[in-house]
Amino acid sequence: PDTSRQGAEHIKPNLQTAQGRALFVWRRMSGTASEIGAEAVKQFGGNADTYRKRKAELFRMGLIRFVSRRQCMITGCQADVYEGKPE
């Protein structure tokens, strides 16, 4: 839909920055996407969803890897845990 395309265009200029910040956090701690989003907000500000949504992209790029599955400290739901691969 048009709203999805508009959303993608809105984030495009800041995408690499958001990916870099999320990866920075994942390389320092393992966590669920929601936990990483919350930690990234503490460190960099912004919106947790902006960082949380980078998980699939970073995984596809081979920059983070699956570690385990556990209860997320943010959502309380079972969630996959990832960690950043070493530089």
User: Percent of the chain, pLDDT > 70?
Assistant: 89
pLDDT of residue 5: 62
What is the reported pTM?
Answer: 0.83
Convert the pLDDT of each residue in 34-50 to its tens digit.
999 999 999 999 999 99
Give 46: exposed, middle or buried? Use CB within 10 Å, 0-12, 13-18, 19+: middle
User: Residue 66 corresponds to which tokens in the numbers above?
Assistant: 């699956």
